[in-house]
Each structure stands twice: as C-alpha cells, then as structure tokens.
Chains A and B, each alone.
Chain A
Amino acid sequence: MHSAIVERPIEAARLMTRVSDASCGAVVLFVGTVRDRNSGRAVTGIEYSAYREMAERELAAIVADAEARFPGVHLAVEHRIGYLALGEASIAIAAAHAHRALAYDASRHVIEETKRRVPIWKREHYADGTREWVHAGSGRAASAALPGAAR
C-alpha cells in the first residue's frame, strides 16, 4: 500500500504500476480533477490546504482499512495540496485485484472515506476574482459521529 499528501503534480500512471502485478486481472484508476464550474459559478482554480500530519495519518488509515475490508486489493493513493489549475488532478487512487469487482469497490470506498474524514480543505477561485472556502458539510456535525471519536 501507498498513500501520501503531495505538493507536486500526481503521476497517476506511476500509481498504477505500484499496485499491479501478474496476479492482478484488474486495475481501477480514479482521478479527481479540478472542474470549471461549481454551483453555477465559473471556477478558475482550486487551492487545497491540509492539516498535513493528520491528513497523512487519516489517508493511511483509510487505505489500510480498505485493504483489510477488500481482501487481496492493492491500493496506492495520493492527494495533492497547493494551487491547482483547471483539469489538474487533486487525487488519484489506483486499486488492483485479481478481479474487477473488488478493485472497483475498494476504489469507491477510498474516495468516499477521503471526502468524509481526511482534514483537507479547498478554496475555489472564481472568474470574477473572488475566492471562497468550500464546505461540504454544515459545520455543525457532532464529532461523536466521526470515526475514532469513541476511542
């Protein structure tokens, strides 16, 4: 397994070669990219920031959990931070397995968990020169509902 928060462009093809070997009949590659519109506004780029040490820890935990949950899956994940232009990759997830079903399942699991719990934020830059933090949640989520809160 491999996971990292990086400040350079993600080389998705390298993540694929990290996870696949002759026993794998399927490699699923998910790449999340910067889109030119959000909620009807023209976006010119996104600035990602992180609580870096915790983000690395959470991402590693997600990958380890996924490899346990989906036996035989090999995973490599990188999330980029810093300023990204349109079309650039913010995250790439390579998932390899003997068969496609578990590779797809593990890939989906990792992106959903990443969005749910890895402490990374994004500030969208708009064509009109303004910029705003994007909040996926309400900001009032009870921490008791979060993974690890009961530990």
Chain B
Amino acid sequence: MTVRVLLFASYADAVGAAEIHVDVPDGTTVRDLVAAVRARHGPDRLPPAPMVAVNQRYASHDTSVSAGDEIAIIPPVAGG
C-alpha cells in the first residue's frame, strides 16, 4: 500500500519535501514506516525514533498504519 507522510520544519528541509508517499506492506507499523523513509531518503535525514502522529494524534511506534491514515513525522516541538 502507499502511505502519505507529512514532514515539517527541519525534517521537511532535511528530506526536501513537506509530503512524501511511501510504499510499505499492509499492516506496517509506525516503526517500519520510519525505517522505510530513512532507508529511502538517507538515515542521516531523520532520527531513528522521531515523534509520529497518526491522524493528528501522537502514536507509539507499535501502531499499525493503514493506507488512508494521515501520518506525520514531527520534529521536537518549539512553540510558546
């Protein structure tokens, strides 16, 4: 399946895109998805265990991902 992944701030700069599409097997977890992105775009572009949101909620790396999900890889936040 193809999953849409959003990138922000320093991660978007590092990968060179604010949105990418990643091909992963059905039943992929957040952990596997991050590994796939790092494998494709370079392991130096993203940390091995970044914060990830699935459908706009923080998700653990064990969370399963579906094709229609909105996945976001989230740099350390710096609001306020």
- Interface residues in chain A, defined as those with a beta carbon under 8 Å from any beta carbon in chain B: 32, 48-51, 53-55, 57, 79, 90-91, 111, 114-123, 133-144, 146-151
Contact = CB atoms under 8 A, between A and B. Distances in A.
4 A-B pairs closest in CB distance: A120-B79, A137-B76, A121-B9, A54-B56
A143 B78 contact: no
- Say what secondary structure dominates the interface of chain A: mixed
Given A32-B80, A148-B58, A143 B6 contact: no
Contact of B80 (A115, A135, A137): A115
Interface stretch (B20-28, B35-43, B46-54): B46-54
B34 to A, nearest CB: 10
Contact of B75 (A48, A133, A150): A133
Classify chain B: how many residues form its interface, as a range.
Answer: 20 to 34
Interface in B64-80: 72, 74-80
A51 B52 CA distance: 12
Contacts of A133: 9-10, 13, 75, 78
A54 B60 CA distance: 16
B74 to A, nearest CB: 5
A146 B51 contact: yes
B4 to A, nearest CB: 14
Given A111-B80, A121-B77, A142 B49 contact: yes
Nearest to B56: A54
26 contacts: A51-B53, A54-B53, A55-B79, A79-B79, A111-B80, A115-B80, A118-B77, A118-B79, A119-B74, A119-B77, A119-B79, A120-B80, A121-B8, A121-B77, A121-B79, A122-B78, A133-B13, A133-B78, A135-B75, A136-B78, A139-B47, A139-B50, A143-B60, A143-B61, A144-B61, A147-B58
Contacts of A140: 47-50
Contacts of A117: 58, 77
